[in-house]
Copies of this chain bind each other. A is one copy, B any other.
Amino acid sequence: MNRVGGAQPTILDVAARAGVSKSAVSRVLSGTGRFSDETRERVERAAAELGYVANAMARGLVSGRTHTIGMLVRDASSMLYTALHAVMEQRASELGYRVVTTTGVGRVEDEKSALAALVSMRVDGLVVCSGLLPAADIAEFAPRIATVVAGRPELHPALSSVYCDEVDGGHQIADAVVDAGHRDVVVLSVPRADAITQHARSVAMTARIRMRGANAVDIDASFVRPAADIAADVVEMMRESGATAVMCPTDRMMLDLCDALDDLGVDIPSDVSVTGFDGVYPLASDWIGFSTLQQPVERIGREAIDLVIGRIDDPSRTVEHRSLRGTVLPGRTLRRR
């Protein structure tokens, strides 16, 4: 086992030291069954003296429960997932569960193996937070493990989900842009294969802008494209078609774009307005002032945990899909014109 210098004490060590059977130790430490006060006292002292920590593998193996929820995250460095993580951890701990997180390091294959790692740990429930992994790969385990998809619209019949209504969000932020008087708008458009949610947003934004009678131009914003290239395209559209606003599918991309536009000598918002999507701290802070659509991260995280634990407790529960509305954060990067 994981011994650097000494071995981990086992229940037998505790039993020997306490002068009782391992059954007694098990009962005391797990608080089940009957035992005398004296037994309890002796066991607790022995356990403390030895620094005993029960082996969760052995325990889980026999009990069939780990009291653990596995969280699969696309990208550990994304602030959105970070925020979700914090909320879920909090809520899960209130309900007596731990959250363990794994991530892929980018590719779909990695994510599959990260998911398999969670499954192999026999977590009681699974919360998948990734816009990358195909639903089929997730659904494979759904019949065996309570599974909830969080943060992306997923209407797969075997999977429950909680997510921000991306279409509504795209419409809301597009409305804000048009309402601010912009008639020629650039929309950074992410291919579906890069990220399902971001793709949906771009599409919704473009559609709404046109529906409102303004002009929308899509610019390719595949993940492989450098921000500098995208910024150059934006500048070109400003010159050619008189674009006065740029809409980004995430705050992160917005930040990269702002950086790149800055390098090109373009000032925001006096030269061009820019909007984002996500609205997570710290970019959502007033001082930074991103104009963006704020996802209801708190609710998404909390309800994802509640849903998954609900299904753990009662596997017969039906699949459920909760679409939550986001809100526009005015910010200072979108200027009226």
Contacts and interface: CB of A to CB of B under 8 A. Distances in A.
Interface of A: 1-8, 51, 53-61, 64-66, 75-77, 79, 82-83, 85-86, 89-90, 93, 98-103, 105, 110, 114, 116-117, 119-125, 140-147, 252, 255-256, 258-259, 262, 281-283, 285-288, 311-312, 315
B102 A64 contact: no
A102 B177 CA distance: 41
Nearest to A85: B76
A48 to B, nearest CB: 11
Contacts of A85: 76-77, 103
Contacts of A110: 93
B77 A98 contact: no
A86 B90 contact: no
Contacts of A55: 61, 120, 122
Given A282-B79, A282-B283, A315 B4 contact: yes
Contacts of A146: 2, 4
B121 A56 contact: yes
Contact of A99 (B3, B83, B102): B102
B82 A79 contact: yes
A5 B122 contact: no
A146 B2 CA distance: 7
Contact of A53 (B86, B119, B147): B119
Contact of A287 (B79, B102, B140, B258): B258
Contact of A58 (B6, B61, B123, B312): B61
A98 to B, nearest CB: 5
A2 B141 CA distance: 10
Contact of A116 (B2, B53, B77, B285): B53
A281 to B, nearest CB: 7
A144 B58 contact: no
B259 A286 contact: yes
Contacts of A79: 79, 82, 282
A262 B101 CA distance: 37
Contacts of A3: 144-145, 315
A100 B103 contact: no
A145 B85 CA distance: 26
Given A60-B57, A61-B61, A287 B315 contact: no
A2 B124 contact: yes
